[in-house]
Amino acid sequence: MAVIVRIVQQFHPGKRQEFMDLEKQFAELERHGILPRGERYAPISGREPGNTIVWQGRFESMNAATAALKLFETNPEHTELAKKQVHCFMNSWVELYEVLEY
């Protein structure tokens, strides 16, 4: 069963540039294979306000999705960047979706 992991982050609007600059550094870790690759989305229209970013990745199993989330928690480079970004946060949550393949 394939799984989509969505990490939804809402940041203080006044800290947008700082938040996005740090987010680019997370993306660089993904490009270098240090962290799992995903796509980032910013809402144009929808339920979430404009000060939201969504990271989304597809994993081939729940075990792979869980391993990716564990890596985010334990990777020292991710942890270092997260410490710099945490003061920008208003809210954050993780969503998991089963990919329905009919």
| pTM reported for the whole predicted model | 0.92
CA distance linking residue 57 with residue 13, whole number of Å: 25
- Is the domain 3-98 a CATH 3.30.70.100 member? yes
Tens of pLDDT, residue by residue, the chain (102 residues):
999 999 999 999 999 999 999 999 999 999 999 999 999 999 999 999 999 999 999 999 999 999 999 999 999 999 999 999 999 999 999 999 999 989
Longest dimension (CA), the chain: 44
